[in-house]
Amino acid sequence: MNDTALKDVKVIDLTQHIKTDKGTIAAVNGYAVAGGLERALACDIRIASENAQFGCFEIRRDLRNPPDPLNRLVGFGSALHMLLSGDLIDAHEALRIGLVTKVVSAQKLIPTVEDLAARMGEYPTEVLVATKKAAFVGRDMTTEQSHLYTRALSAPLRDSDISREGVTAFAESRKANYGESAS
């Protein structure tokens, strides 16, 4: 493959979801198998249409499929079944095992994802970053360690304008206005 052919290729590092400050949402409509499943797993939140199908087809091609992050997300038993069987599971089974967080009709998929993204976009970036870090790092800690880590992450925010506005808006039963921070 020459350099000219490579100019149109975008390589995506599937581990980057942990490093990005942005929340990521996968909208799955149709098949999410092999690399498509990996891309969905790289997102923080996965929402599927009723048409969605999920599977690990690598076993069918004599290829090794690394079990993480599937193991972490759906648990060892469900991950092992998907990895070793090569079977497809539908959206409702994906919801049951925790692979997706919501199943909607195909017509509602994009509006649902756009609504969630818009709501997430209204929250202060600093709070989203701290929450995401606490979730990803804390999952490998004991409950006590995770609690301490979360407190340490949120300490700089406690006495900030962001925190004051959030508390005031809650007390006044109004939507918070975080200004430039919520970008």
Q: Determine the Cα–Cα distance for residues 65 and 38; give it in Å rounded to an integer.
A: 10
- Annotated active-site residue 38? The verdict is yes
Among residues 50, 58, 165, 180, which one is catalytic? Answer: 58
Among residues 38, 122, 144, 180, which one is catalytic? Answer: 38
Return the SS3 of 93.
helix
Task: Give the tokens for residue 180.
Answer: 């430039």
> Which residue type occupies 131?
T
Q: Which spans in the chain are helix H?
A: 3-6, 16-19, 35-41, 70-74, 76-85, 91-97, 106-122, 125-138, 143-158, 161-171
Q: Which long-range contacts (CB under 8 A, 24 or more apart) does 64-70 make?
A: 65/34, 69/41, 70/37, 70/41
- Annotated active-site residue 165? The verdict is no
- Residues recognised as catalytic: 38, 58
